[in-house]
Amino acid sequence: MGVFRFENPQYLYFLLLIPLFLFLYIIAYKRKKRMLKQYGDLEIIGQLMPEVSYRRPIFKFIIAQTALILLVLAIARPQFGSKLREEKRKGIEVVIALDVSNSMLAEDIKPNRLERAKLAINRLIDRMGEDKIGLIVFAGNAYTQIPVTSDYSSAKMFLSTINTNIVPMQGTSISSAIKLAANSFSPNVKSNKALVIITDGENHEDAAIDVAKEAVEKGIKIFTIGIGNPKGAPIPIIDANGQRTYRMDGDGKIIISKLNDELLNKIAVVGEGDFQIANNTNFGLSKILKKLQNIEKEELSTKIYSEYEDQFHYLVGLAILLLLIDILVLEKKNLRLSNFRFFGNGK
């Protein structure tokens, strides 16, 4: 079975116009009914104008909107991967472990710690070359977001969906992230493996150092990026009405989330990697990328889809058919055909 994708996904934003068109149509429809009521009872007016239909314009609007949706999907160029081939390349495998605990919503790094980290990872992916990348998220536990892959487009797509609500248990268990990452690398790769942990370091357990030592024994180098300010910042909560409050502890005091740079530095030292502190001007991934490039490359094999078949013509054909139906269906009733009752009772 092939892989489905949109070649030009940016055009899908045009679908946001559909609710707007629906809103404007409802307003126009209600306005038309109000204007008709000024001339008398709608049932009497309907008897005086038997050719007027109230359902046909709605039917035509639905057809036109469906055709528009199909055309938007068509210009986004839906494709199926049709040929899978194995490709050899030299590189390393990098797993990024991203902290998604609530403390990552603190805004000492703009716009907040999590969004700034996602932006930096996105730029890192663009510069990775022939390496493989995997992505896991962690809070109270760790979860694989995308397995180790050379498909950078998929990695960036999954990255964009990450938020603090995707994990069921809050907290910050760095050891869980290291354990999961250690099992995420390809089994045939003995070395040439790197783990990049991005977190504010507010660790809620003490096993991270020991787990890091075990990972090093498996040939994994561990790099850490501390995101946040050692002085700390409150964690905002924004409700449905846009009102801002801050997380509080059991005593009603505002929680201040602080960067634990000491722990992250220890993990990097034990992990034979490097530690960087992210700030608003320099996230630190560029320095770590240079160190990753110094790791000896290994021949990696990956299966990728090399050919994709366009499917947009089916959507265009169906859209044209719907537009023809829209043209053929008149807004007024044909009294000669009214006995056939194509549209219910013809109203």
DSSP 71-82: HHHHHT-EEEEE
| Helix extents (H) in 12-89 | 17-37, 42-48, 55-75
Which phi and psi (to 5°) does residue 210 adopt?
-65, -40
CA distance 102 to 113: 10
Peptide bond into 168 cis (omega under 30): no
pTM: 0.62
CA distance 274 to 268: 5
Cα→Cα distances 147→96, 132, 139, 150, Å: 11, 10, 18, 10
Going by their DSSP bridges, the two strands 220-227 and 275-278 should be labelled as parallel
Torsion of CA 285, 203, 136, 126, to 10 degrees: -10
Domain 93-296 has CATH 3.40.50.410: yes
- Would you write out the chain's pLDDT as a tens digit for each of its 347 residues? 456 778 788 888 899 999 999 999 889 888 877 776 666 565 665 555 555 566 778 888 899 999 999 999 999 888 775 555 555 566 788 999 999 999 999 999 999 999 999 999 998 888 887 788 999 999 989 999 989 888 888 888 889 889 998 988 888 889 999 999 999 998 776 668 999 999 988 766 668 999 999 999 998 999 999 998 888 899 998 887 878 899 898 888 998 988 988 999 999 999 999 999 998 888 888 888 888 888 766 555 555 545 667 788 888 999 899 989 888 877 665 545 455 554 445 44
Q: Which of 182, 128, 202 is nearest to 159 (CA)?
A: 128
CA distance 300 to 306: 17
Residue type, 188: N
Q: Which of 194, 237, 16 is nearest to 107 (CA)?
A: 237
Cα→Cα distances 98→115, 162, 172, 173, 264, Å: 11, 9, 11, 11, 13
| CB-neighbour burial class of residue 108 (10 A; exposed 0-12, middle 13-18, buried 19+) | buried
- CATH 3.40.50.410 region(s) of the chain? 93-296
